[in-house]
């Protein structure tokens, strides 16, 4: 058998253990935990994580039992909090619906203008979705707005909006008396309540690398019809679920 390492090293006890059975390695690990192993240092090099945990066990083992329990719980809670923070920052982030622009699909709370809910709906956006796939027409998307959207004021969610993706790069989006057409063809929109449809008419071209968004409450939504399309880099992710209030739980 050839030497794939390409190194010249004198075999030590730790190198010899590379071919040991699982039972033999478990025995060495047990000895390391008790501090009585004859080859404690070399086995630590072979099993660094296990050795660190054994060292932690020995260190906390000297504490009185109440304090050891406190340390164990503190470590568990710290790891759990770190996991939640990383998960929220990199994978899934919750958002609150502040306005009626997505009624009746997503509720804002009364007595807000045009709001139908007793509570603001809360959704979770999948922040990784667009790292592995392209945005799709009809998705509910969380995104950062362009500066032009400042005309909407703070009532629509500051500089983070939640809207329906309607136009893809290169599309021509038209509205005719409240009905949407994509490249001249009518768009089926079963999510629109007729009572929330407006009677506007207009045409917009979506630039390359940009996306066109509309609210489901067409009559009261401040959207791409007013401030233009949104670059791909501003898209945070599609809404995955509505999780609050419990009676409004839904997958998107």
**Active centre residues (catalytic):** 101, 163
What residues have CB less than 8 Å from 118, skipping those under 6 apart? Answer: 109, 110, 245
Tokens read off for 226: 């007013």
Question: Is 118 in contact with 109 (CB distance < 8 Å)?
Answer: yes
């Amino acid at each position: 058998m050839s030497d794939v390492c390409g190194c010249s090293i004198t075999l030590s006890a730790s190198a010899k253990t590379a071919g040991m059975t699982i039972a033999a390695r478990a025995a060495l690990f047990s000895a390391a935990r008790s501090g009585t192993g004859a080859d404690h240092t070399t086995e630590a090099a072979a099993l660094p994580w296990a050795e660190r945990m054994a060292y932690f066990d020995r260190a906390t083992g000297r504490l009185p039992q109440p304090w050891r329990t406190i340390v164990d719980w503190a470590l568990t809670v710290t790891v759990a909090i770190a996991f939640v923070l990383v998960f929220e920052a990199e994978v899934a982030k919750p958002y609150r619906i502040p306005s009626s622009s997505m009624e009746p699909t997503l509720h804002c709370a009364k007595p807000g203008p045009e709001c139908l809910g007793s509570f603001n709906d809360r959704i979770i956006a999948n922040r990784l979705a667009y790292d592995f796939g392209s945005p799709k027409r009809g998705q509910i998307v969380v995104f950062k707005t362009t500066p032009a959207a400042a005309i909407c004021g703070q009532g629509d969610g500051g500089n983070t909006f939640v809207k329906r993706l309607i136009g893809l790069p290169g599309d021509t989006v038209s509205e005719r008396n409240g009905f949407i057409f994509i490249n001249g063809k009518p768009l089926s929109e079963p999510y629109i309540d007729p009572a929330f449809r407006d009677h506007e008419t207009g045409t917009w071209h979506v630039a390359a690398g940009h996306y066109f968004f509309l609210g489901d409450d067409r009559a009261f939504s401040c959207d791409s019809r007013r401030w233009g399309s949104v670059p791909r880099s501003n898209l945070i992710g599609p809404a995955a679920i509505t999780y609050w209030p419990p009676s409004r739980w839904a997958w998107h």
